[in-house]
Structure 1
Amino acid sequence: MRHVEESDVLRFSPCREIVYTNYRNKEKTEERALISEEVTMPVIIDGEERGALIASPQDLYHLTIGYVLAEGLVRTYADIESVVITDGRALVTLTKEGHEKPSCPVDRLGPVAAEEICSYGSLLDSLSAAHHSSHGVHEGALVRKGGEMLAYAEDIGRHNVLDRLRGIVEEKGIDVSDVMLIFSGRVPQSVITKVHGMGLHLIASRALSSALGLELADKLGITVICGLRPDSFRLYTHKERISFEQ
């Protein structure tokens, strides 16, 4: 595995070494391994507790932004005056004036070559140190058509990955009209709802979807690709976005 440094785009989940008892072939041994860390943090909006995050402890700032927006606790990013992570709490202060909810971004993705989709089949494995060390995190990356990676997130929970990415998109003002989500987790209805909330039109996951997830994706105009590997994938909905021409 190549070594990848943390950056403004890459934030990795911390791990902790533990001692455990391993039983194999009738033999007991004491061994060491890394496990993913986890925190619980209440979310306070204008002095009132409105929810709680159970998540990996890195970059809680962007996770909080994505969480309050995805859960409908705050209407738009423009309504957020500040987010402060302190004393194990996320303190969100809202502006005095309300803002209109922005419309869904226009789809500028266009046909994406099947070969380009396959090229992202090993992207997540090439990045995550925590995944290889603990096998305890989900991963997601936002990639612009053509291969530019705009954001990456990992977390013990797959929904947190999506909320982290949404927070990054909102805070950095990323145009997602031609952006794809490369994802590690299953794709049920709840994941499709968060993908739609981010304004994305294509998700390509290593895992599989659910029937309700595919039904919702079809209704919302989202292309769902599952079983993503470097040489293959399964295309389920809105197949017009993928080109198979050589």
Structure 2
Amino acid sequence: MPPSVRPIADPALTPRMTDARAPMLREIEILDEYGARRRIHIPAERPLTVFVDKREIVTLMTLGASPEMLVLGYLRNQRLVPDLAAVESITVDWDVGAAAVRTREGIADIEQRTARRVVTTGCGQGTVFGDLMDQVGALRLPGPELARIRQGTLAGLLEVIRQQDSIHRKAGSVHGCALFRGTELLCFVEDVGRHNAIDTIAGWMWLHGVDGADKVFYTTGRLTSEMVMKAAHMGVPIVVSRNGVTHMGHELATRLGMTLFGRAANKHFLCYCGAERFDSEPLPEPASVRVVAGG
């Protein structure tokens, strides 16, 4: 936990949790195009079935870097529990590939609330429950006067990500998500799907009482409606992606007054919406290339 993150206000209301981390890489032998056999690392994807008060909710495909935070963030982003104090414990057992969540008072109407699932465009088939989009009107994010980002800060943030040691560099095949305050990296998570990575960060924020109003969320994945919605539920108004944005993601972010940056790498970016939060510091136009006849 970074020293800038405040401790939990009331430890008595903090869920009891295991620390069941699993190895994130596996070594295998491959045959390459030159006929050479060699050993490489690949991400260690594994299933984690979540049970809430002994009721099976969902199976998540994950690397298992921080499964308790993933489950906590999933509960938060699905709005299955009202607050942190509602969760008594989260126990992860990799021998059976299960996470057992115990709540203090149960979840009212859990059968009806989890009956309507929507399989999203997320890697590994992210899942949201059908009534979440109906909650968008209740979300309130800080205005442009309170939450802003300078172009220089955006460039600095992207440089921090570029230098981050990652599973992707070693093995590929994963998505990364990060939470920033300015150019300070607060939390970085990689998983087989961007939904798992954002849910893990949401759980980390919830557990440590981190507010999203002055933060920036970064993802390597595309900005679909469900990714935008999860960032909004986390209270983060500025989202940056190395990838692009879908029509529904753009529409939802515009409706919520969020700022979306896509195709962001090095000093390049596209601001898709929410430019009123952005303090532009334009780069000089590249010199045009003159074509000399006969050259």
Whether TM-score is above 0.5 comes out as yes
Q: Quick check: 1:16 aligned with 2:26? A: yes
Q: CA deviation at 1:245?
A: 4.5
1:51-70 equivalences in 2 (<5 Å): 51-70=58-77
Asked if the contact 2:81/2:107 (under 8 Å) is kept, the reply is: no
Offset from partner CA, 1:19-66 (integer Å, 9 cap, x none): 11112xxx4221221100111111111111111121111110100001
Corresponding position of 2:227: 191
Offset from partner CA, 1:195-239 (integer Å, 9 cap, x none): 111111010111111111111110111100011122121001110
What is the TM-score when the length of structure 2 is the normalising length?
0.72
Corresponding position of 1:95: 104
- Please, which runs of 5 or more residues in structure 1 have no aligned partner? 1-7
Asked if the contact 1:13/1:36 (under 8 Å) is kept, the reply is: no
Q: Does the residue aligned with 1:124 lie in a helix, a strand or coil?
A: helix
Q: 2 CA distance for matches of 1:232 and 1:17?
A: 35
Q: 1:13 to 1:181 in 2, by over 3 A?
A: farther
Q: Percent identity?
A: 27
Corresponding position of 1:82: 89
Q: Quick check: 1:216 aligned with 2:280? A: no
Q: 2 CA distance for matches of 1:171 and 1:215?
A: 30
What is the TM-score when the length of structure 1 is the normalising length?
0.86
Q: 2 CA distance for matches of 1:233 and 1:80?
A: 40
Corresponding position of 1:125: 162
Partner amino acid, structure 1, of 2:162:
D
Q: 1:158 to 1:13 in 2, by over 3 A?
A: farther
- Larger CA Rg, structure 1 vs 2: 2
Q: CA deviation at 1:103?
A: 6.6
Corresponding position of 1:206: 242
Q: 1 CA distance for matches of 2:220 and 2:22?
A: 15
Corresponding position of 1:5: none
Q: 2 CA distance for matches of 1:121 and 1:245?
A: 16
Q: 2 CA distance for matches of 1:161 and 1:13?
A: 16
Q: 1:109 to 1:233 in 2, by over 3 A?
A: farther
CA RMSD of the aligned region, Å? 2.5
**Aligned length in residues:** 233
Corresponding position of 1:157: 193
Corresponding position of 1:138: 175
Partner amino acid, structure 2, of 1:148:
E
Partner amino acid, structure 1, of 2:269:
F
- Please, which runs of 5 or more residues in structure 2 have no aligned partner? 3-20, 109-134, 283-295
Asked if the contact 1:12/1:153 (under 8 Å) is kept, the reply is: no
Q: 1:50 to 1:220 in 2, by over 3 A?
A: same
Partner amino acid, structure 1, of 2:245:
S
Partner amino acid, structure 1, of 2:92:
I
Q: 2 CA distance for matches of 1:115 and 1:212?
A: 29
More strand by share: 1
Q: 1:203 to 1:128 in 2, by over 3 A?
A: same
Q: 1:245 to 1:133 in 2, by over 3 A?
A: closer
